[in-house]
Amino acid sequence: MRDSDEERVVKCRGIWNRLTDWRWWLGLSPKHMEAAPRKTWEVTVVIPAFNEAESIGMTVLSVQRQTFPVREIIVVDDCSTDGTGRIAQRFGATVLRTPRNSGTKSQALNYALAGVQSEFVCIVDGDTILARNALEKVLPAFHIEKVVAACGYVVPQRIKSFWERARFIEYIVGIAIYKRAQNHIGAVFVCSGCFAVFRISAIGGARSFRERTIAEDMDLTWELLDKGKEIAFVGSAMCYPVDPPSLSILVAQLNRWYRGYLQCMKVRRGRFQNWKLGLLAYWYILDFMFGWVMFIAGLSLYTGSLFRGISIAFLLQVTLLFSVCSVKGFMMGRLRTVLASFFCYFPILIINACVLWRALWLEIILGRSLGEWQKGH
């Protein structure tokens, strides 16, 4: 048998093993994730903050209460005007105040990373609360030497308003389904900036986060994947950020996300070394912009009626998503919240598509790049 044939057999076996892995289908972790983090590992937590006085205290407290002890908690006060630094210091964090407002999150992070001496660094947003065992759950991913970064599951801190409920369902769909699938094929699309852990040796120090885009987390994730590094998603490591309670704040956050994504595409000129990442990057934009249109058009042609096509598409989407969200809600102990929030999800799909179209027009067609630090992960 030729070498190429042997490699093909190995790949096929790998795909089959994944498809038949009952632990993955049930949302459980692989065996190496059951091991405890090494006691010799040291983790420094860096929290970039700009005017986070309302939330920074609880964020620092949630890090201090971790079941896995951290070496140091560093809060980067990017010239806040509301006393963020004083509050963080009062809660026991080491506070670094930038000489002037950097304007971008990446600059604030690099300011702190220059002095980090531990093996790992954990990035946490200034409005995010970590579950007590978040670090203990995420660190075992690094038992695999090729893994250089890992991120956890995101759940809104508050689920009260219509848009917070919509985001809660969106996270179930986007993280519990899509990100878990990305992890399974070895191409986690983005290591979210609200909670992520990195090997310092893999990302460097003072220049770890490039300052060429406003999506510093996505830019670094793509760079690591293009270099052949592995990134892990750990669904049992939970974090709780503050999500937009109103439509105006939601649109501003989506605008930053999508324009950051397009900036990441622009700086690479749409070229990727990692074919899986490239496939996901293009699928991401095409799915949001044309996915529903193509799906409805296909069903309409098949049924001979636009109305029947739309109706069938909607019923299929609702049935599938409701089943998945209900199961995930039951596993999280939040089935009642899922049932009360489910139909809030569909308006946010339309808003996502509209904001993406606008971002495409501004960033790609007009060339107006957004470069300011806005609150929100």
CATH number at residue 137: 3.90.550.10
Band of residue 327 on the pLDDT scale cut at 50, 70, 90 = confident
Band of residue 375 on the pLDDT scale cut at 50, 70, 90 = low
**pLDDT of 230:** 92
Looking at the chain, list the stretches that DSSP marks H as alpha helix, in order from N- to C-terminal side.
3-19, 22-25, 56-64, 84-90, 105-113, 134-138, 162-171, 180-185, 200-203, 216-226, 247-267, 275-286, 292-303, 306-332, 335-341, 345-360
∠ CA(321), CA(160), CA(66), 5° rounding? Answer: 90
Q: What is the pLDDT of residues 3-22, one digit of tens each?
A: 455 555 455 555 555 554 54
Can you tell me the mean pLDDT for 99-123? Answer: 88
Between 195 and 306, the higher pLDDT residue: 195
**pLDDT of 91:** 94
Whether residue 210 lies inside any domain: the answer is: yes
Is residue 331 classed as helix, strand or coil in its secondary structure? helix
Whether residue 146 lies inside any domain: the answer is: yes
Tokens of 76: 């980067």
Can you tell me the mean pLDDT for 215-229? Answer: 92
∠ CA(320), CA(322), CA(328), 5° rounding? Answer: 105
Whether residue 329 lies inside any domain: the answer is: no
Are 161 and 246 in contact by the 8 Å Cβ rule? The answer is yes
Between 27 and 291, the higher pLDDT residue: 291
Whether residue 56 lies inside any domain: the answer is: yes
Helix (H) or strand (E) holding 123: strand 120-124
∠ CA(315), CA(316), CA(322), 5° rounding? Answer: 85
Q: What is the pLDDT of residues 180-192, one digit of tens each?
A: 889 988 889 999 8
Q: Identify the DSSP state of 144.
A: S
Q: What is the pLDDT of residues 276-305, one digit of tens each?
A: 888 888 887 777 666 666 666 666 666 777
**pLDDT of 296:** 62
Average of per-residue pLDDT values in the chain: 84
Residue whose C-alpha is closest to residue 183's, from 61, 27, 377: 27
Helix, strand, coil tally for the chain in percent (to 5)? 55, 15, 30
**Residue span of the structural domain in which 33 resides:** 29-168+178-246
Residues forming beta bridges with residue 45, ordered by sequence position = 73, 122
Whether residue 159 lies inside any domain: the answer is: yes
Whether residue 292 lies inside any domain: the answer is: no
**pLDDT of 43:** 96
**pLDDT of 232:** 94
**pLDDT of 300:** 67
**pLDDT of 263:** 93
Whether residue 332 lies inside any domain: the answer is: no
Band of residue 1 on the pLDDT scale cut at 50, 70, 90 = very low
Instruction: Say whether pLDDT at 313 is over 80.
Output: no
Are 310 and 296 in contact by the 8 Å Cβ rule? The answer is yes
Can you tell me the mean pLDDT for 46-59? Answer: 94
Q: How many independent structural domains does the chain possess?
A: 1
Q: What is the pTM of this model?
A: 0.83
Can you tell me the mean pLDDT for 133-156? Answer: 94
Between 292 and 211, the higher pLDDT residue: 211
Helix (H) or strand (E) holding 130: strand 129-130
CA distance 300 to 224: 42
Can you tell me the mean pLDDT for 130-138? Answer: 95
Instruction: Say whether pLDDT at 28 is over 90.
Output: no
Matching residue, tokens 């001979």: 304
Whether residue 222 lies inside any domain: the answer is: yes
Residue whose C-alpha is closest to residue 231's, from 262, 192, 289, 279: 192
